[in-house]
Structure 1
Amino acid sequence: MVDNAASTSLIPMLIAATESAMPAEKRLLADDLAIRTLPAGLRPLVRRQRTRRWLRRLMDRQDPGIWNSLACRKRYFDEQTAALLHDTEALVVLGAGLDTRACRLAAPAAIPAFEVDLPVNIALKQRRIPLPGNVVPVAIDFERQDLATGLAESGYRTDAKTLFLWEGVTQYLTETAVHATLKTLATAPSGSHLIFSYIRQDFIAGTNLDGCPAAHRRFVAGQGIWRFGLHPGSVSGLLAEHGWREVEQVGGGEYTERFLTPLGRGGERVPDIERCVTATKI
């Protein structure tokens, strides 16, 4: 995973803050903390309708629909997290970045939450959002350090029924690191939940860019920081290897039906290069 919080977390949080500033009947997200994760110079931009439209057009210029893709991903994680927290004894956010769910959703419910990320990312976030007492930062590198050890040293109980969130992370990891993480999660108690996102393998391979060639040039062909992908049909088997059952998988079509159409935004594009999965521990 890259070691620059700005490159991995800033854009999704800029989208979250911008959508949250829109009128309630049009917005995809309602994250009142998102604006606090942004550099001070960006915050006034999301408060102005004209600059909100400009930001979205700028982002969609090269990869049409990428704004909606990221916004819908965050909306899906928000809804699933809210729905599953009642059946949870602990929340673990893998690659937390600047995300605010532990503060917004777990803290009010008094559920122990653990935010796992690189030390530089954790330090950046703590400068912008002080963490509530029940939210514990866990500083590790998925590629080089043991996740189970880091969580245990931070007070995580392995017998706690846990909701694991793994948003926008797997593509930055090697296949070895993805399997190592799933191997650790395999020890979770039955009835635990996992929500994660992944990039399609055919996008990584360059055989199906779905109208987003600039993203492929930047993240795959250029910087080479997107390394791992999955075929939608292989997700269930991968999860089963580690004791998880796929409950649901969603992408562009489902996002349009669930989120955009009810807001009168059903004609807007959502590429299907990234998908989200909810799974339950067997």
Structure 2
Amino acid sequence: MEEARPSRTALRVAMRRAAHQLYDAQPLIFNDPLAVSILGKEYLPEIERTQFKLNKPFSVALRAFLVTRSRHAEDLLAHAVAQGITQYVLLGAGLDTFAYRNPYPHLQVFEVDHPATQQWKRELLATNNIATRANLTWAPVDFEHQQLAAQLAAAGHDATKPTFFAWLGVVPYLTEPAFRSTLSLIASSPAGSGLVMDYGQPRSALPFLEQLAHDSLASRVQLAGEPFQLFFTPQQMAAELSAFHTIEDLGTPELNARYCDHRIDNLKLLGAAARIVSAWT
């Protein structure tokens, strides 16, 4: 991400979450009553244009993955809260709205993101009259140049208590050292802590048509100044998560079966590129 600019990919993800609320059939995969309002009038024309892409399979599949990713993360968070977890860290929070509709009074939310993106989000929240809550803490972090542990500690995170971490839409943009440093910190969290993250498979592991789709998406994020850098096969990811237990790595068939198979519209995941994995300490 360019140093002084908020994340363009965070905006694109937010617009697809908003489009899901407006154009996809009920019941929604991911019901987010703030997804549209956080963007406000400024981005509404761009959101409206997405309705004309409903017959483009890869565009629809990308939206399906993004909303499924958010739904799955919040399902896992609900399980973690039921097990007694009281701290939730959103790594690369982007325009995620959970902290402003948090139904758990005793859950402290830490939003971690690049300072430029975080400032942009705070301006959107203020402009669109979305109130922050006492159980939200901002933790600005540049993953490539700052230590996550130090920034979280400065924000009041208690490293002695179990924490649930959501790391969505971040891993492909990291260098390997930044990824492993953050993963090591999470793995060292107290027993009962959890992690959910998504990752992409390398181009070489994909069939031909998916390689073309990968190239198209990679070109767009490159132009946005946020190039892809890091990919894993499921076998490689399992090795990276060796310090965890109870690992669940879900691909397209499993995610469709859980969230999409009984829908009356064409919202479903395609291909094998993107996966969502959860793990517990």
Q: TM-score, normalised by structure 2?
A: 0.85
CA spacing shift, 1:91–1:16, aligned 2, 3 Å: same
* Deviation for aligned residue 1:173: 0.5
Alignment-derived partner of residue 100 in structure 1: 97
Q: Which of 82, 97, 101 is 1:86 aligned to?
A: 82
Contact map agreement 1:15 1:70 (CA 8 A) in 2? yes
Aligned residues: 272
The answer to whether the 8 Å contact 1:92/1:162 transfers is yes
Letter in 1 for 2:99: A
Give the whole-Å Cα distance in 1 for the aligned partners of 2:59 and 2:225.
Answer: 17
Residue type matched to 1:233 in 2? Q
Sequence identity percentage: 26
Residue of structure 1 equivalent to 2:51: 53
1:239 maps to what in 2?
241
Q: 1:112 to 1:64 in 2, by over 3 A?
A: closer
Describe how 1:21-60 pairs up with structure 2 within 5 A.
21-22=22-23, 25-43=26-44, 53-57=51-55, 60=56
Tell me the amino acid that sits aligned with residue 101 of structure 1: F
CA offset digits 1:205-226 (Å, max 9, x no partner) = 8876625141133346996711
1:126 aligns with 2:122: yes
Q: Specify the SS of the correspondent of 1:92.
A: strand
Q: Distance in 2 between matches of 1:108 and 1:224?
A: 34
Q: Which residue number in structure 2 is paired with residue 148 of structure 1? A: 149
User: Alpha-carbon deviation of 1:120?
Assistant: 0.9
Of 105, 109, 114, 2:110 maps to 114
Is the contact made by 1:63 and 1:214 (CA closer than 8 Å) also made in structure 2? no
Match of 1:172 in 2: 173
Equivalent pair of 2:88/2:109 in contact (CA under 8 Å): yes
SS in 1 for 2:88: strand
Amino acid at match of 1:92: V
Letter of the 2:135 counterpart: N
* Gap regions ≥5 residues in structure 2: 126-130
Superposed CA RMSD in Å reads 2.8
CA contact (8 A) 2:19 2:50 kept: yes
- Tell me, in whole angstroms, the C-alpha distance in 1 between the residues paired with 2:274 and 2:92: 17
Gaps of 5+ in 1: none
CA distance in 1, matches of 2:184, 2:14: 29
Are the counterparts in 1 of residues 110 and 137 from structure 2 also a CA contact under 8 Å?
Answer: yes
Distance change in 2, residues 1:5/1:271 (3 Å):
farther
Deviations 1:187-214 (A, max 9, x none): 21011000011111236x8876625141
**SS across alignment from 2:166:** strand
Compute the displacement of 1:30 (Å).
Answer: 0.5
Change (3 A) 1:97 1:27: same
- When residues 179 and 192 of structure 1 are mapped into structure 2, their CA distance, relative to the original with a 3 A threshold, is same
Distance, in Å, in 2 between the alignment partners of 1:102 and 1:21 is 21
Instruction: State whether residues 24 and 265 of structure 2, in contact with CA within 8 Å, keep that contact through their aligned partners in structure 1.
Output: no
SS at match of 2:37: helix
Q: Report the residue type matching 1:100 in the other structure.
A: T
